[in-house]
Structure 1
């Protein structure tokens, strides 16, 4: 296996992970929406669902931050390299250090989602099996 094949594999897998994470965050918000309470025209969510809702939102925000920061960094890097030499076909070795930040955002958004589902599961467990 070539090094380029490994890179393509982890880029594809991390892209799929981001898509799955986003879909699961939407699904989590949908589950919470089912448990909303409407009283006199005012809609609220139960107190036990505030924490998971916040974590789903944080996961979305980290997703946006990850893609925004990657886009801005790589566009800036492209402009920097283009000013040095306008040959678009030249081979360059991109820096590795920005990837640590982007990977950290990926890890934190997935962790936020996992903790959100854990908190949602605890809430549902308590609703289904209340202690007497």
Structure 2
């Protein structure tokens, strides 16, 4: 397997992981919404679900930050290379550290999602088997 194929594989898989993470975060919010408590004047969720809701919101926020930072990083790198005289079709090598922060964001948003689901499973276990 060529090195370029390996890079394409992990880029495709990390993009898919981000997509799945985002879908599961929204699904988790939907699951929490199912357990909402409504009375005539207000709607609330059980106290045990605030922590997973916060973790899901953190996961989605990190997702947004990851793509925001990547977008600006690549845009400013493009402008930098353009000012150096590079042409559109010319090859350039990006610095190795460009992918470090996005990988950390990917890790943190997945950890936040897993944390949320652990708390939700614990809540469901408690109400189903109590």
Corresponding residue for 2:35? 35
Per-residue deviation at 1:86? 4.3
CA distance in 2, matches of 1:41, 1:12: 47
CA distance in 1, matches of 2:115, 2:98: 26
Counterpart mapping for 1:62-77 below 5 A? 62-77=62-77
Aligned length: 130
CA deviation string 1:68-94 (max 9, x = no partner):
000010001001101111411111110
Gaps of 5+ in 1: none
Corresponding residue for 2:127? 127
Corresponding residue for 1:24? 24
**Does 1:56 pair with 2:68?**
no
Corresponding residue for 2:11? 11
Any runs of at least 4 consecutive aligned residues in structure 1 with deviations exceeding 4 A, and if so which? none
What TM-score do you get using the length of structure 2 for normalisation? 0.97
Gaps of 5+ in 2: none
